[in-house]
Amino acid sequence: MKTLLSLGHGYSAAALAALLIPLGWRVIGTTQTPDRIADLRAQGVEPLLWPCDIGPALGEATHILASAAPDGSGDPFLHAVRDLIMAARAEWVGYLSTTAVYGDHQGGWVDEETPVKPQSGRAVARVLAERQWLATGLPVQVFRLAGIYGPGRGPFEKVRDGSARRVIKANQVFSRIHVADIAETLLASIRHPDPGAIYNVCDDNPAPPEDVLSYAAALLGYPEPPTVLFEEAEMSPMQISFYSESKRVRNDKIKRDLGVKLNFPTYQDGLRGLLD
């Protein structure tokens, strides 16, 4: 039996587990939230409440997925149990990172060969964690994820409750990825491992964020959300950090090397799928 150990079992890891469990896989997932244990069990995932003795799970894992948010020390699991992880005999290890590691390119294109240029603190921590995992000597593949959306994570509720705002900033563009396509990409990598490889995981259609809100409103039959200039918008520090970077991310490598065919190649496809 193949066994996936999911370190920091979150939204993207759950989507992968939903593909693996019907194929006969065993999935073990860590969480720091006791209230999530019953939910993980309902998904067919064996929960581990972190911190815990993770040695037995590491010993049984044929595959490891690391998706916990890093801190100033890098990856929290490597910081806590590095020796145990480095002794693991997994045949595949995936680390979920972010396209924020590329920094700002003023709307220009980036690919996996583009040097990292992190600007925000969270992106600096991601670069550190990427390097820590690649330095373990394990068969690590790094997946740099664009903005994630999917079931439970989309613009429809904000449009419906009237809180959506079309924030306008010149030349601002983001790349996105549906969580189902993250899971499909990870599964393709599991089937065709390439230790040391780095992949951008995004769709084919980078676009301004206000366009996405306009399309979501049109699908619902609602009026277009009101417009506000970036300079006048009330935003959280996290939102401001997102708007400080603009780039278009290429996804040719996952198609060429892994044979990925996106279920939702554009945000229009993804939003129609969510509404359906």
Domain boundaries, position 140: 3-148+177-203+249-263
Specify the amino acid at residue 222: Y
- The pLDDT, as a whole number, for residue 50 is 97
In a domain, 108, yes or no: yes
Which residue reads 């995981």 in tokens?
201
Q: What is the DSSP letter of 153?
A: B
pLDDT of 33 above 90: yes
In a domain, 216, yes or no: no
Percent of all residues in the chain with a pLDDT value above 90, rounded to a whole number: 97
Ordered alpha helix ranges (H), 168-251: 179-191, 209-220, 237-243
In a domain, 212, yes or no: no
In a domain, 171, yes or no: no
In a domain, 226, yes or no: no
Mean pLDDT rounded to a whole number for the chain: 97
Q: What CATH code is carried by the domain that includes residue 97?
A: 3.40.50.720
User: What would the mean pLDDT of 231-250 be, rounded to a whole number?
Assistant: 93
In a domain, 15, yes or no: yes
In a domain, 94, yes or no: yes
- The pLDDT, as a whole number, for residue 17 is 98
Burial 106-128 (b: 16+ CB within 10 A, else e): eeeebebebebebebebbbbbbb
- In total, how many domains does the chain have? 1
Please give the model's pTM, rounded to 2 decimal places: 0.97
In a domain, 214, yes or no: no
Pairing of strands 92-98, 140-145: parallel
Digit-coded pLDDT (tens) for 92-149 = 999 999 999 999 999 999 999 999 999 999 999 999 999 999 999 999 999 999 999 9
Closest CA to 98 of 155, 166, 182, 205: 182
Digit-coded pLDDT (tens) for 40-88 = 999 999 999 999 999 999 999 999 999 999 999 999 999 999 999 999 9
Confidence band, pLDDT 50/70/90 cuts, at residue 238: confident
